């Protein structure tokens, strides 16, 4: 079963073609990675898939449904969650309130109705699972960069997405926290969640991925398991600098 597919997805900014009739699929129930050199279209691909920008043409399908023209909120309700390269947290709110606010609809008071015991317990549970429960009363601005990444992920998981898109989870993270993030991805995948991860840290990609897609100039040039990708000449030429 395919979790996420695109068909001839195209996006240009001015005269710069970023996605060039991109047709690609990611495997349901697996840890998928999307890699490629800077400027190859990875984040633009994520932005199109999650509704932040509209593609110029092409189609996006998730779980068999066409989501190409849906709003970001409708796509999230369909089961797709997403983190960003630059963490999106509320800096002057506590970690617990950040996680609670993540489930509020746009335009609503962020914390109105969010204080039910069941929801608070669920938020605490995610903070505990991600290893930052001791920081739940700490304002987000006082957390380290890696801790903010975990906090953002906790907020995403509050919506119980079936598929999680992670945009450079290893960026700026210390090695100990990086190991924790890798372990969390594997644990959450074992519980049934599908992942698609944009990442430049090849050690992380190769250690946790089941399936890897490689972009170059807005198109996939290779895909397969890590054992195949690490020896693919097209990948070595385009991404690893051989």
In a domain, 175, yes or no: yes
| Residue span of the structural domain in which 140 resides | 91-160
Q: 136 with 34, same domain? A: no
Q: Which residues of the chain carry a pLDDT beneath 70? A: 1-2, 104-115, 239-242
A 10 A CB-CB count for 176 gives 8
Q: 188 with 166, same domain? A: yes
Q: How many domains does the chain have?
A: 2
pLDDT of residue 106: 46
pTM score, whole prediction: 0.90
Q: 122 with 226, same domain? A: no
CATH code, domain with 239: 3.40.50.300
Q: 168 with 242, same domain? A: yes
Measured distance CA(140)–CA(96) in Å, rounded: 9
Q: 167 with 217, same domain? A: yes
- Interval 97-115: pLDDT, tens: 999 988 755 444 545 454 5
Q: 118 with 53, same domain? A: no
In a domain, 46, yes or no: yes
pLDDT of residue 241: 54
Measured distance CA(160)–CA(162) in Å, rounded: 7
pLDDT of residue 172: 83
CA 37 to chain centre: 18
CA dihedral 140, 141, 145, 147 (to 10 degrees): -20
pLDDT of residue 2: 57
Mean predicted lDDT score pLDDT of the chain = 90
What is the secondary structure of 116-144 as a DSSP string? Answer: -HHHHHHHHHHHHHTT-GGGTTSBGGGS-
Q: 33 with 65, same domain? A: yes
In a domain, 109, yes or no: yes
Q: 72 with 114, same domain? A: no
pLDDT of residue 39: 87
- Interval 31-70: pLDDT, tens: 999 999 888 999 999 999 999 999 999 999 999 999 999 9
- Interval 84-96: pLDDT, tens: 988 899 999 999 9
Measured distance CA(90)–CA(109) in Å, rounded: 14
In a domain, 85, yes or no: no
pLDDT of residue 38: 87
In a domain, 84, yes or no: no
């Amino acid at each position: 079963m395919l979790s996420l597919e695109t068909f001839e997805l195209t996006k240009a900014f001015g005269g710069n073609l970023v996605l060039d009739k991109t047709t690609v699929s990611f495997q349901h129930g697996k840890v998928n990675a999307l890699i490629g050199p800077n400027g190859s279209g990875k984040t633009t691909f994520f932005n199109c898939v999650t509704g932040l920008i509209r593609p110029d043409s092409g189609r996006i399908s998730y779980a068999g449904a066409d989501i190409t023209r849906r709003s970001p909120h409708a796509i999230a309700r369909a089961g797709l969650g997403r983190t960003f390269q630059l963490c999106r947290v509320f800096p002057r709110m506590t970690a617990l309130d950040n996680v609670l606010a993540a489930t509020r609809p746009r335009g609503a008071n962020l914390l109105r109705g969010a204080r039910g015991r069941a929801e608070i317990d669920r938020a605490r549970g995610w903070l505990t699972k991600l290893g930052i429960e001791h920081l739940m009363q700490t304002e987000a601005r006082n957390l380290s960069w890696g801790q903010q990444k975990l906090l953002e992920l906790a907020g995403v998981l509050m919506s119980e997405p079936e598929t999680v898109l992670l945009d450079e989870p290893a960026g700026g993270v210390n090695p100990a926290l990086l190991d924790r993030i890798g372990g969390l991805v594997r644990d959450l995948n074992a519980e049934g969640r599908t992942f698609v991860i944009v990442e430049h840290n090849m050690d992380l990609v190769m250690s946790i991925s089941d399936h890897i897609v490689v972009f170059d100039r807005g198109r996939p040039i290779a895909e397969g398991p890590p054992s195949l990708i690490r020896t693919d000449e097209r990948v070595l030429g385009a991404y690893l600098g051989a």
